[in-house]
Amino acid sequence: MAEVSTGSTQRITLAKGLNAGLRAAMENDPKVIVMGEDVGKLGGVFRITDGLQKDFGEDRVIDSPLAESGILGTAVGLAMRGYRPVCEIQFDGFVYPAYDQIVSQVAKIHFRSQGKVKMPIVVRIPYGGGIGAVEHHSESPEAQFAHTPGLKVVSCSNPVDGYFMIQQAIACDDPVIFFEPKRQYHADKAELDESLTLADADPLFSSRVVRAGSDLTLLAYGPMVKTAMQSAEAAAGEGKSIEVIDLRTLSPLDMGPVLESVRKTGRVVVAHEAHVNLGMGAELAARITEECFFSLESPVLRVGGFDTPYPPSRIEEEWLPDLDRVLDAVDRALAF
Amino acid sequence: MTQQAGTTADFPGPEDVFGPSHADGGPELVQLLTPEGERVEHPEFSFDLDDEAIKGFYRDMVLTRRIDVEATALQRHGELGIWAQLLGQEAAQIGSGRALAPQDFVFPTYREHGVAWTRDLDPLRLLGLFRGVDQGGWDPNANNFGLYTIVIGAQTLHAVGYAMGMQRDGVVGTGDAERDAAVVAYFGDGASSQGDVNESFIFAASYNAPVVFFCQNNQWAISEPFERQSRVPLYQRALGFGFHGVRVDGNDVLACYAVTKAALQRAHEGSGPTLVEAYTYRMGAHTTTDDPTRYRLSSDVEAWKLKDPIARVKAYLTRNGLVDDSFFEEIEEEAEQLGHHLREGCKALPDPSPLSVFDHVYVDQTPELAAQKEAYAAYLDSFEGAH
Q: Give tens-digit pLDDT for A6-18.
A: 568 899 999 999 9
Query: Which of A237, A235, A259 lies closest to A334 in space, CA to CA?
Result: A235
Residue B7 has pLDDT above 70, yes or no: no
Residue B284 has pLDDT above 90, yes or no: yes
Residue of B107, B141, B144, B158 for testing the chain A interface, max A β-carbons within 10 Å: B158
| Residue B5: inside a domain | no
**Annotated domain spans of chain A:** 11-200, 208-335
Same domain for B303 and B369? Answer: no
pLDDT in tens, A175-193: 999 999 999 999 999 999 9
Please tell me if residue B135 touches chain A, with a CB cutoff of 8 Å: yes
Sheet of A268-275: strands edge to edge? A208-211, A242-246, A216-220, A268-275, A301-305
Same domain for B222 and B364? Answer: no
Which residues of chain B have a CB within 8 Å of the CB of A64? 203
Please tell me if residue B387 touches chain A, with a CB cutoff of 8 Å: no
CB-nearest to A73 from B134, B157, B163 is B157
| Residue B6: inside a domain | no
Given an 8 Å threshold on Cβ–Cβ distance, is B196 in contact with A101? yes
Please name the residues in contact with A297: beta carbons below 8 A apart, sequence gap of 6 or more.
A266, A267, A336
Please tell me if residue A105 touches chain B, with a CB cutoff of 8 Å: yes
* B52 contacts B78 by C-beta, under 8 angstroms: no
- Biggest CA–CA distance in chain B, Å, is 78
Q: Which of helix, strand or coil describes residue B166? A: helix
Rounded to an integer, what distance in angstroms lies between the CA atom of residue B94 and that of residue A176?
Answer: 39
Residue B302 has pLDDT above 70, yes or no: yes
Q: How many residues does chain A have?
A: 336
Rounded to an integer, what distance in angstroms lies between the CA atom of residue A126 and that of residue A148?
Answer: 19
Other Cβ atoms within 10 Å of B230 Cβ, number: 15
Rounded to an integer, what distance in angstroms lies between the CA atom of residue A70 and that of residue B275?
Answer: 18
Q: What is the pLDDT of residue B123?
A: 97
Please tell me if residue A66 touches chain B, with a CB cutoff of 8 Å: no
Which residues of chain B have a CB within 8 Å of the CB of A73? 154, 156-158, 160-161, 196, 199-200
Please name the residues in contact with A301: beta carbons below 8 A apart, sequence gap of 6 or more.
A268, A269, A270, A329, A332, A333
Same domain for B289 and B379? Answer: no
Q: What is the pLDDT of residue B27?
A: 73
Closest approach of chain B CAs to the CA of A38, in angstroms? 15
pLDDT over 70, % of chain A: 98
pLDDT classification of B22: cutoffs 50, 70, 90: very low
Given an 8 Å threshold on Cβ–Cβ distance, is B368 in contact with A253? yes
Task: Give the C-alpha distances (Å, rounded to integers) separating B145 from A47, B132, B184.
Answer: 39, 20, 10
Which residues of chain B have a CB within 8 Å of the CB of A65? 199, 202-203, 206
| Residue B1: inside a domain | no
Same domain for B267 and B367? Answer: no
Q: What is the DSSP string of A87-146?
A: EEPSSGGG-GGGHHIIIIIITTHHHHTTTSS----EEEEEE---S---TTSS---HHHHH
Residue A252 has pLDDT above 60, yes or no: yes
* B286 contacts B257 by C-beta, under 8 angstroms: no
Q: What is the pLDDT of residue B197?
A: 98
pLDDT in tens, B141-175: 999 999 999 999 999 999 999 999 999 999 999 99
Closest approach of chain B CAs to the CA of A190, in angstroms? 31
Please tell me if residue B124 touches chain A, with a CB cutoff of 8 Å: no
Please tell me if residue A75 touches chain B, with a CB cutoff of 8 Å: yes
CA angle A37, A141, B198 (to 5 degrees): 40
Other Cβ atoms within 10 Å of B325 Cβ, number: 8
Nearest chain A residue to B369, by CA = A252
Same domain for B48 and B162? Answer: yes
B309-319 and B51-76 helices, crossing angle to 10°: 140
Query: Which of B142, B186, B182, B138 lies closest to B162 in space, CA to CA?
Result: B182
Rounded to an integer, what distance in angstroms lies between the CA atom of residue B371 and that of residue B101?
Answer: 46
Q: What is the pLDDT of residue A6?
A: 54
Looking at chain A, list the stretches that DSSP marks H as alpha helix, in order from N- to C-terminal side: 14-28, 52-56, 68-80, 99-100, 109-112, 142-146, 159-171, 224-237, 255-265, 280-292, 316-319, 323-335
Looking at B210-308, list the stretches that DSSP marks H as alpha helix, in order from N- to C-terminal side: 226-229, 237-241, 253-268, 298-305
pLDDT classification of A241: cutoffs 50, 70, 90: very high
Rounded to an integer, what distance in angstroms lies between the CA atom of residue B29 and that of residue A156?
Answer: 57
| Residue B380: inside a domain | yes
Rounded to an integer, what distance in angstroms lies between the CA atom of residue B218 and that of residue B137?
Answer: 27
Q: What is the pLDDT of residue A129?
A: 98
pTM: 0.95
User: Which range has the worst mean pLDDT, A148-152, B3-7, B378-382?
Assistant: B3-7
Which residues of chain A have a CB within 8 Å of the CB of B158? 73-74, 76-77, 80, 105
Same domain for B282 and B361? Answer: no
Given an 8 Å threshold on Cβ–Cβ distance, is A116 in contact with B140? yes
Q: Which of residues 206-235 of A touch B (CB under 8 A)?
A: none
- List the domain range (segments joined by +) for residue B359: 354-386
Closest approach of chain A CAs to the CA of B274, in angstroms? 17
Same domain for B338 and B381? Answer: no
Residue of B166, B168, B368 for testing the chain A interface, max A β-carbons within 10 Å: B168
CA angle B267, B33, B252 (to 5 degrees): 55
Which residues of chain B have a CB within 8 Å of the CB of A174? 362-364
CB-nearest to B135 from A82, A100, A112 is A112
Q: What is the pLDDT of residue B325?
A: 96
Same domain for B374 and B317? Answer: no
Closest approach of chain A CAs to the CA of B135, in angstroms? 5
Range B304-324 average pLDDT: 97
Q: Give me the numbers of helices (H) and strands (E) for chain B, helices first please.
A: 15, 7
Other Cβ atoms within 10 Å of A97 Cβ, number: 18
CB-count exposure of residue B124 (10 Å: 0-12, 13-18, 19+) = middle
Q: What is the pLDDT of residue A192?
A: 94
* B134 contacts B81 by C-beta, under 8 angstroms: no
Rounded to an integer, what distance in angstroms lies between the CA atom of residue B196 and that of residue B166?
Answer: 20
CB-nearest to B360 from A65, A81, A111 is A111
Range B246-264 average pLDDT: 98
pLDDT in tens, A120-171: 999 999 999 999 999 999 999 999 999 999 999 999 999 999 999 999 999 9
Long-range CB pairs of B84-87 (<8 Å, 24+ gap) are: B84/B110, B84/B111, B84/B130, B84/B286, B84/B287, B85/B111, B85/B282, B85/B283, B85/B284, B85/B285, B85/B286, B85/B287, B85/B288, B86/B111, B86/B112, B86/B113, B86/B114, B86/B284, B87/B282, B87/B283, B87/B284
Rounded to an integer, what distance in angstroms lies between the CA atom of residue B312 and that of residue B250?
Answer: 12
Given an 8 Å threshold on Cβ–Cβ distance, is A73 in contact with B154? yes
Residue B3 has pLDDT above 60, yes or no: no
Please tell me if residue A276 touches chain B, with a CB cutoff of 8 Å: no
* B86 contacts B251 by C-beta, under 8 angstroms: no
Q: Quick check: ipTM above 0.90? A: yes
Question: CA-CA-CA-CA torsion for B354, B356, B361, B363, nearest 10 degrees?
Answer: 170
Determine how β-strand A84-88 pairs with β-strand A122-127.
parallel
Please tell me chain B's helix, strand, coil percentages from 3-state DSSP, rounded to the nearest 5: 50, 10, 40
Residue type, B19: G
CA angle A39, A42, A48 (to 5 degrees): 55
| Residue B100: inside a domain | yes
Q: What is the pLDDT of residue A7?
A: 62
Same domain for B131 and B267? Answer: yes
Please tell me if residue A112 touches chain B, with a CB cutoff of 8 Å: yes
B256: CATH? 3.40.50.970
Does the domain at residues A208-335 carry the CATH identifier 3.40.50.920? yes
Phi then psi dihedrals of residue A132, to 5 deg:
70, 35
CB-nearest to A80 from B137, B140, B199 is B140
Note whether A11-200 and A208-335 share their fold: yes
Q: What is the DSSP string of B129-146?
A: HHHTS-S--S-HHHHTBP
Hey, which residues does A253 pair with through a beta bridge?
A250
pLDDT in tens, B81-134: 999 999 999 999 999 999 999 999 999 999 999 999 999 999 999 999 999 999
CB-nearest to B164 from A78, A173, A252 is A78
Residue A5 has pLDDT above 80, yes or no: no
Q: What is the pLDDT of residue B384?
A: 78
**Please, what is the end-to-end C-alpha distance for chain A in angstroms?**
36
Closest approach of chain B CAs to the CA of A288, in angstroms? 14
State the average pLDDT for chain A.
96
Same domain for B134 and B45? Answer: yes
* B30 contacts B255 by C-beta, under 8 angstroms: yes
pLDDT over 90, % of chain B: 91
pLDDT classification of A3: cutoffs 50, 70, 90: very low
Please tell me if residue A203 touches chain B, with a CB cutoff of 8 Å: no
Residue of B203, B208, B357 for testing the chain A interface, max A β-carbons within 10 Å: B203
Same domain for B376 and B244? Answer: no
CB-nearest to B157 from A74, A173, A252 is A74
Sheet of A122-127: strands edge to edge? A61-63, A32-36, A84-88, A122-127, A176-181, A152-155, A249-251
CB-nearest to A81 from B162, B200, B203 is B162
* Domains identified in chain B, total number: 2
Chain mean position to CA B3? 23
Per the residue annotation, which of B228, B295, B319, B362 is the catalytic one?
A: B295
Q: Which CATH class is domain A11-200?
A: alpha beta
Q: What is the pLDDT of residue B269?
A: 98
Q: What is the pLDDT of residue A335?
A: 97
Q: What is the pLDDT of residue B365?
A: 97
CB-nearest to B158 from A76, A115, A252 is A76
Residue B25 has pLDDT above 90, yes or no: no
* A325 contacts A227 by C-beta, under 8 angstroms: no
Please tell me if residue B360 touches chain A, with a CB cutoff of 8 Å: yes
Per the residue annotation, which of B158, B244, B286, B312 is the catalytic one?
A: B286
Please tell me if residue A54 touches chain B, with a CB cutoff of 8 Å: no
Same domain for B274 and B339? Answer: yes
Residue B387 has pLDDT above 90, yes or no: no
pLDDT classification of B386: cutoffs 50, 70, 90: low
Given an 8 Å threshold on Cβ–Cβ distance, is A65 in contact with B206? yes
Q: What is the DSSP string of A195-214?
A: T--GGGSPPTT--EEEE--S
Range B206-225 average pLDDT: 97
Buried b (16+ CB within 10 A) or exposed e, B134-150: bbbbbebeebbbbbbbe
pLDDT over 90, % of chain A: 96
Given an 8 Å threshold on Cβ–Cβ distance, is B157 in contact with A116? no
| Residue B2: inside a domain | no
| Residue B167: inside a domain | yes
Which residues of chain A have a CB within 8 Å of the CB of B147? 109, 112-113, 117
In this structure, what DSSP letter does residue B230 have?
A: -
Please tell me if residue A122 touches chain B, with a CB cutoff of 8 Å: no
Rounded to an integer, what distance in angstroms lies between the CA atom of residue B32 and that of residue B94?
Answer: 15
Looking at B107-252, list the stretches that DSSP marks H as alpha helix, in order from N- to C-terminal side: 113-118, 123-131, 140-143, 154-168, 195-207, 226-229, 237-241
| Residue B285: inside a domain | yes
A vs B, Cβ pairs < 8 A, gives 137
Residue B10 has pLDDT above 90, yes or no: no
